[in-house]
Structure 1
Amino acid sequence: MSTPVKYEYLISKSGDLLFSVTVGTLAYFLNERDNPRAQNGKTLLELVSRARQRKIQQRETNRKLDDQVHLGQAYPEITTVSTGGPVYTTDILTATKGFNFYQITKVVRQFLNKAYGTDIQFYQQLDKKPDYFICDAFNDPCIDTAVQFKVPFAITCTGMLYQDINVPYINGLGTTHHATSEHMTLWERFQHKYVDLIKTLWYIYPELKELDQYRQAYGMTSLGLNRFKQWDNGLKLINTYFGFFPPQIMSPLTHMIGPVITARQRTLSEQEAVFLNTHKRVAYVAFGQIIKPSKHEIELLFSGLLDQMEHQRLDGILWVGLKKQIQTLEAEDPLLVWQFNTTQSGHVIQPPLLSHALFQRHVFMPPWTSQFSVLQHSATVLFVSHGGAESANEATFNGVPILVHPYVGDQRLVGRALTLAGVARTHERADCTFELLRQHINELLVDEDGSVGRNLTRMKTLAQIGSKRKTFAADLV
């Protein structure tokens, strides 16, 4: 009988994931504190749990724990171990406020570069050489270490970040509202394929050069402008499903293994259950852990939802974290005045807003919710989201239409893909008006031709079928 493989699961500060199997150890690096990609870690915990069901033993290790270990609490068979603090040492949204796509890309790359040295040192000093790595797509130290150790590796991502087979009609950059080139003019295609790409490389060239300097300092090979050069021989595990993004060719090393939905969902709290059970048509609003909507965004979105309530298409609003953000904005500006305007009414409200009648009866603002359970409830008829891939997976899995209000990262790409699939509407935050918002919500809730309902049924079926593939992902690993 072969010696059982033992497992050790580590939580990494650089985010991102390392999942390494050795004769006696499996190291599993999760995401850092307050990182919007923390859902990626939960995904891999679920996959590791599936692998764990193959009667594999584990051992513990002693390292300083940080507050990300709670992600592993739902998996008692997994020991989570911290390797450090956050990559983003400041609020990433504050640091990039008002920035365009190219500037945001540059700032994110700067944060990742700063973490490279400490991360690569930790990986290179592992007490046992791993036999396999699973790395998040943005964890260059993890991928570089796997290449340096000459061991196989897998890369995880929530979308098709890298096309190992070129698909020219897919728009991968976040610089256009078109998911594909199908409806683009010749000039728009040229602009996106060449001009936007050159501008992106021009903005981040100093950071890519700096990254290569870090690589050389730790004995790695320089990659130049193509940081994806090392990906060709790696297994790509994409936490999405067929039908979510436009069709495209994939290599034998690329697999859609999602949506990875944990089987250990938290149930509704007593307050959540009471609110949802006493309403029939609720809009659920959530923008993730780090996004804080501005005063204008709160006024715009609430006006749009209030308008739907006045037309009896909604009878309640569940908005996660709104109470704290309102209190923060009012504390920062004592002269602040709130304005909400619908097609039937207008409201000018002096602080404190939370004491106004509008927020007393049909608006529930908890600091945190059991999101999957909220989306699963029959009273939830609309999800207003930032467009995070994990949130989109949970919404389509439960058949809830999505109004995407994107902020950073791949959220615009997710919004465009779901709009193309017919289950969402998306807009640019800077250009959105009440009229556009009202039109989008009407299209999702009224659904005059029934197309949204049909598309939701189709996507729900595809998502629920795709959710079975997490066991297949464990088999691939």
Structure 2
Amino acid sequence: MGSTVRAAAQRTLPTMRTLAILLVAIFAVNVQSARILGLFPHTGKSHQMVFDPLLRTLAERGHDITVVSFFPIKNPPANYTIVSLEGLAAQGVETIDLSYFDIQNKLLNSLGIEKIIKQIFDFQPLADMATAICSNIVDFVPLANAMKKSYDVILVENFNSDCMLGLIHVYGLKAPYISLSSSAMMQWSADRIGVTDNPSYVPLVSSEFTSQMTFLQRLENTILNVYYKTWFRYAIQMKEKAIIEKRFGRRIPDLQEIAKNVSVMLVNTFHSLNGVRPLLPGVVEVGGMHLDHSRKPIPHYIERFLNESEHGVVLFSWGSLIKTATIPQYKEEIIVNALSKLKQRVIWKYENSDEEGTLTGNILKVKWIPQYELLQHEKVIAFIAHGGLLGMTEAISAGKPMLIVPFYGDQMLNGAAATAIGLGKAVSYADMSEKSLLEGLQSVLSPEMRMSARRASKIWQDRIADPLDTAVYWVERVIRWGHQIPCTPLPGIWVS
């Protein structure tokens, strides 16, 4: 009797395994057949660098991807369709002249309220950029053709524009949409998903505060919170709504209401670096999802420079948007004089360099650097950066301490966050002197700071899942369940 049962069980087991494999295959096909539309209307290259790994991974998992962007990827897979926005606006690559900040600092210092006015000045170009791009894309035929198709989910960058949300409504796309942010949540983003952004302890993305603010800092944070929300509504949302209505000859709902349709927000932060915020299930932190673990090769002349260093190397880069070679001569002399006093060697991303770098003393200036690969290199012991979130993420991933010289946007906030967790120290560009820069470097290069940075890195890496895997999971979860995911408590305006 027992042998008969065992024999029957053995015959049944392969059948059950086959059935399980078939069920998994059916489920995989259902997921892999999903059609995904990605809409990325911002001209900043660093923003697109955050999203590209997610889009490529979704394509590799079998999804049919259509991506609208100013920065189309190279060698896309067969199931990856590109709608390039190139030519509709100037791309943000090495476009910022550093002499601008000297002029701005002199002007604002004369007014006596430079910090508040600077934040307002820094954000104003985002409104002009958003409305100019919106005016162009409403007539862009390739975009219109892409939006006339049906999709299972739509990915939309959430930064300085809601024009794409208006177009989603105009073309009647019924798919749920996911909001992607390359930075911490913007001041106008919290309301659309019902998140509390109490300015008494939630610092603005443009501030240099942490959650531990003085009364005057809370007051400034509150005033600017109200200002930015009002500014975004009237300088961007209402104007974009008018542009769309004029182009299509009909009224559309308030973009602020359409924005509440969001199913999930994927935000390029993680609380151990960027600070704790009150969030909802629909706000998912995926800071670090852009990190490329495949490791690109380091140019041979840089590798040689690294290996020949006796005391280690300091990496110096101010990102993809700032053109470092435009730095005023007196500022460059301050930096060179301070760096030359270090026993460490320095690799400086400096666009006006020779093909294989320009070596002066202990400083090697190079046109381009494989930044993440260099930060992972054992010879690189510190990072001079501008506080952009991608560089911050790469540094904390590698456990390398930072000297941060912030210029605009979220860089002051990131610098304050890094200082708070012992990852680095911030130095003002406006007030930078040889003394302050050298003291900052000595602090960052100290054994205590290097140990603190390694500890911050371990805490940052200790999470339940890889950030890219987390982002993929949430996209596919929305594909599976659509509008049924109860991630936002707010009603929006659905297309009819």
The TM-score range, normalised by the shorter chain, is: 0.7 to 0.9
Contact residue 401 and residue 444 of structure 1 kept, 8 A: yes
Ranked by relative contact order (alpha carbons within 8 Å, sequence separation 6 or more), the top structure is 2
Counterpart in the other structure of 2:303: 273
- Identify which range, 294-303 or 407-416, moves more after superposition: 294-303
Contact residue 316 and residue 346 of structure 2 kept, 8 A: yes
Which whole-Å CA distance do the structure 2 matches of 1:79 and 1:269 have between them? 32
Contact residue 259 and residue 466 of structure 1 kept, 8 A: no
Counterpart in the other structure of 1:105: 123
Q: What is the CA distance between 1:375 and its match in structure 2?
A: 0.5
Which whole-Å CA distance do the structure 1 matches of 2:227 and 2:308 have between them? 54
Paired letter, 1:152: P
Deviations 1:215-257 (A, max 9, x none): 433443234xxx5872463311112223011112211100012
Deviations 1:136-156 (A, max 9, x none): 112422233345534311111
Contact residue 317 and residue 362 of structure 1 kept, 8 A: yes
Contact residue 268 and residue 374 of structure 1 kept, 8 A: yes
Counterpart in the other structure of 1:132: 153
Counterpart in the other structure of 2:84: 82
Paired letter, 1:132: V
Which whole-Å CA distance do the structure 2 matches of 1:241 and 1:200 have between them? 24
Please give the secondary structure, in 2, of the residue aligned with 1:259: coil
Deviations 1:330-365 (A, max 9, x none): xxxxxxxxxxxxxxxxxxxxxxxx6xxxx4353222
Please give the secondary structure, in 1, of the residue aligned with 2:387: coil
Counterpart in the other structure of 1:300: 334
Counterpart in the other structure of 1:469: 467
Counterpart in the other structure of 1:117: 135
Match status 1:42 vs 2:49: yes
Deviations 1:313-342 (A, max 9, x none): x2x1100125449xxxxxxxxxxxxxxxxx
Q: What is the CA distance between 1:451 and its match in structure 2?
A: 5.3
Give the RMSD, CA atoms, in angstroms.
3.5
Which whole-Å CA distance do the structure 1 matches of 2:262 and 2:351 have between them? 45
Q: What is the CA distance between 1:298 and its match in structure 2?
A: 2.0
Gaps of 5+ in 2: 1-25, 105-117, 476-496
Deviations 1:248-289 (A, max 9, x none): 221110001231112333111111111111114111111122
> Equivalences for 1:48-59 in 2 at 5 Å?
48-54=55-61, 56=62, 58=64
Which whole-Å CA distance do the structure 2 matches of 1:409 and 1:152 have between them? 30
Contact residue 240 and residue 256 of structure 1 kept, 8 A: yes
Contact residue 51 and residue 475 of structure 1 kept, 8 A: no
Counterpart in the other structure of 1:26: 36
Contact residue 403 and residue 440 of structure 2 kept, 8 A: yes
Match status 1:170 vs 2:195: no
**Would the alpha carbon gap of residues 381 and 322 (structure 1) be closer, same or farther in structure 2, given more than 3 Å must change?**
farther
Q: What is the CA distance between 1:60 and its match in structure 2?
A: 9.2
Match of 2:283 among 254, 257, 264: 254
- Identify which range, 95-104 or 423-432, moves more after superposition: 95-104
Match status 1:189 vs 2:218: yes
Deviations 1:376-407 (A, max 9, x none): 11111111111111111111100111111122
Q: What is the CA distance between 1:77 and its match in structure 2?
A: 6.9
Match status 1:155 vs 2:192: no
Contact residue 318 and residue 365 of structure 1 kept, 8 A: yes
Match status 1:441 vs 2:436: no
- Which protein is bigger by CA-based radius of gyration? 2
Which protein has the bigger helix share? 2
Which whole-Å CA distance do the structure 1 matches of 2:278 and 2:225 have between them? 23
Q: What is the CA distance between 1:107 and its match in structure 2?
A: 1.5
**Would the alpha carbon gap of residues 452 and 86 (structure 1) be closer, same or farther in structure 2, given more than 3 Å must change?**
farther
**Would the alpha carbon gap of residues 108 and 301 (structure 1) be closer, same or farther in structure 2, given more than 3 Å must change?**
same
**Would the alpha carbon gap of residues 52 and 5 (structure 1) be closer, same or farther in structure 2, given more than 3 Å must change?**
farther
- Identify which range, 292-301 or 263-272, moves more after superposition: 292-301
Paired letter, 1:290: L
**Would the alpha carbon gap of residues 220 and 433 (structure 1) be closer, same or farther in structure 2, given more than 3 Å must change?**
farther
TM-score normalised to the size of structure 1?
Answer: 0.75
**Would the alpha carbon gap of residues 232 and 166 (structure 1) be closer, same or farther in structure 2, given more than 3 Å must change?**
farther
Counterpart in the other structure of 1:335: none
**Would the alpha carbon gap of residues 430 and 48 (structure 1) be closer, same or farther in structure 2, given more than 3 Å must change?**
same
Which whole-Å CA distance do the structure 2 matches of 1:405 and 1:369 have between them? 19
Counterpart in the other structure of 1:240: 269
TM-score normalised to the size of structure 2?
Answer: 0.72
Contact residue 113 and residue 207 of structure 1 kept, 8 A: yes
Deviations 1:152-177 (A, max 9, x none): 11111122323342142011152x42
Contact residue 171 and residue 179 of structure 1 kept, 8 A: yes
Which whole-Å CA distance do the structure 2 matches of 1:195 and 1:460 have between them? 35
Q: What is the CA distance between 1:476 and its match in structure 2?
A: 0.8
Gaps of 5+ in 1: 8-22, 326-353
Q: What is the CA distance between 1:469 and its match in structure 2?
A: 2.5
Which whole-Å CA distance do the structure 1 matches of 2:127 and 2:365 have between them? 35
**Would the alpha carbon gap of residues 263 and 77 (structure 1) be closer, same or farther in structure 2, given more than 3 Å must change?**
farther
Counterpart in the other structure of 2:316: 285
Contact residue 96 and residue 103 of structure 1 kept, 8 A: no
**Would the alpha carbon gap of residues 273 and 244 (structure 1) be closer, same or farther in structure 2, given more than 3 Å must change?**
same
